[in-house]
Amino acid sequence: MKKHIADFVIAEKKTIGSSYFTLLLKSPEALPEILPGQFVEVQVPDNKEVFLRRPISIHDVDYAANTMTLLVQVVGKGTRTLSQLAEGRTLNLVYPLGNGFSIDGQKPLLVGGGAGIAPLLYTAKKYSEKGIRPAILLGGRTAELIPVKEEFRPYGEVFFATEDGSLGEKGLVTQHTAFGKSYDSILTCGPTPMMKAVARHALKNGIRCQVSLENTMACGVGACLCCVTKTDHGHRCVCKDGPVFNVENMKEWAN
Ligand SMILES: Cc1cc2nc3c(=O)[nH]c(=O)nc-3n(C[C@H](O)[C@H](O)[C@H](O)COP(=O)(O)OP(=O)(O)OC[C@H]3O[C@@H](n4cnc5c(N)ncnc54)[C@H](O)[C@@H]3O)c2cc1C
Ligand code: FES
């Protein structure tokens, strides 16, 4: 897919809880086709210490309005600087990057944890466009750390798992009663231990499963090799060959 480099205008910024925010970004031109699970590389302005672009998943797309939404958790210098930008400012993006999720299966389960929930909204939307309502299982340590909740309801049946029991069932997503039900496809993004547990369950039960990795990146286009991951077929760049991998090819990674 052709990559674009463009200046987007921050049309709206919303703060969510103490660590998350969304940016609604307006494109100057018609958006190209964007696959669920693809990401952008954002140039961080106003901070000379942040030299490299930061990879952020595409949370939502509105082709009619020419907008994309990013959902970001503040974890360091780059994301903090992004959180401080005012509406009306311009952000330079390289996009759409990576391979994205395949929208497969008739009875899918989407599993998201923390900031890994970000790519799943547009993914759920793509399933619903095919007339399929996925089960959507979202987890976090507390309710506050599950940044978006109601936004998923139009597209599927939504379940929550929190470690402190403040929302949904108490425990990890893999302990949730919805997790053990029967599915023909699982798509997941979130902390690595969570994705490995989901992958092991899928491999054990013969369920097709896609994991979206969030390795640290620099170039974002397969040139610097700083994002490589081990697969059963050798090392692969998460930015170019991923971020989505089929767990059938990641058995060693999952163990
Ligand atoms: C394909 C992809 C998609 C992503 N999508 C999103 C998203 O939609 N929303 C979102 O909030 N974040 C997302 N991330 C993670 C995001 O890129 C990092 O949190 C961000 O680059 C950190 O930049 P920083 O300057 O704020 O932190 P830094 O100052 O660079 O680092 C601060 C802390 O964050 C950790 N960190 C840095 N990069 C990552 C990373 N990739 N994953 C986990 N921890 C990291 C560092 O180890 C360090 O502890 C994504 C990452 C990838 C690779
Ligand atoms: S970030 Fe440079 S090769 Fe992936």
pLDDT above 70 covers what percent of the chain?
A: 100
Ligand 1: distance of its center to the CA of 204 in Å?
30
Integer Cα distance of 144 and 163 in angstroms:
12
Integer Cα distance of 192 and 113 in angstroms:
10
Integer Cα distance of 26 and 10 in angstroms:
6
* DSSP structure string for 56-84: EE--EEETTTTEEEEEEE--SHHHHHHHT
Ligand 2: distance of its center to the CA of 216 in Å?
9
Residues in contact with ligand 2 by the CB-under-6-Å rule are 217-220, 222-227, 237, 239
pLDDT at residue number 47? 85
Integer CA distances (angstroms), 146 to 154, 170, 199, 204, in order = 17, 14, 21, 28
Q: Which pLDDT tens digit goes with each residue over 106-145?
A: 999 999 999 999 999 999 999 999 999 999 999 999 999 9
Q: Which pLDDT tens digit goes with each residue over 148-165?
A: 999 999 999 999 999 999
Q: Do domains 4-97 and 108-254 have the same CATH topology?
A: no
Ligand 2: distance of its center to the CA of 50 in Å?
17
pLDDT at residue number 48? 86
Q: Which pLDDT tens digit goes with each residue over 183-222?
A: 999 999 999 999 999 999 999 999 999 999 999 998 888 9
Instruction: Annotate 113-148 with b (16+ C-beta within 10 A) or e (fewer).
Output: bbbbbbbbbbbbbbbeeeebebbbbbbbeeebbbbb
Contacts 24+ apart (CB under 8 A), 182-186: 182/107, 183/105, 183/107, 183/108, 183/109, 183/135, 183/207, 184/105, 184/106, 184/107, 184/108, 184/208, 185/104, 185/105, 185/107, 185/108, 185/109, 185/209, 185/210, 186/108, 186/109, 186/110, 186/111, 186/210
User: Which token pair is 151?
Assistant: 């936004």
Q: Does domain 108-254 have CATH number 3.40.50.80?
A: yes
Q: Which pLDDT tens digit goes with each residue over 86-112?
A: 999 999 999 999 999 999 999 999 999
Choose among 154, 38, 148, 41: nearest CA to 102.
Answer: 38
Decide if pLDDT at 44 tops 90: yes
Q: Out of 75, 97, 99, 101, give the residue to mutate to test ligand 1, the one with the largest number of ligand atoms within 8 Å of its CB.
A: 75
- 215 ligand 1 Cβ < 6 A: yes
pLDDT at residue number 46? 87
Which top CATH class is 4-97? mainly beta
**Can you give the residue ranges of every domain in the chain?**
4-97, 108-254
Integer Cα distance of 28 and 4 in angstroms:
12
Ligand 1: distance of its center to the CA of 184 in Å?
30
| Nearest alpha carbon, ligand 1 atom 8 | 57
CA 136, 142, 143, 148 torsion: positive or negative? negative
Ligand nearest to the CA of 100: 1
- Full-model pTM: 0.96
Contact 137, 110 (CB under 8 A): yes
Ligand 2: distance of its center to the CA of 215 in Å?
9
Atom of ligand 2 nearest to the CA of 55: 1
DSSP bridge partners of 255:
none
Spell out the residues 6+ positions from residue 14 whose beta carbon is closer than 8 angstroms to its own: 21, 22, 24
- 84 ligand 1 Cβ < 6 A: no
User: Which token pair is 118?
Assistant: 């970000």
CA 7, 85, 45, 122 torsion: positive or negative? negative
Ligand 1: distance of its center to the CA of 75 in Å?
7
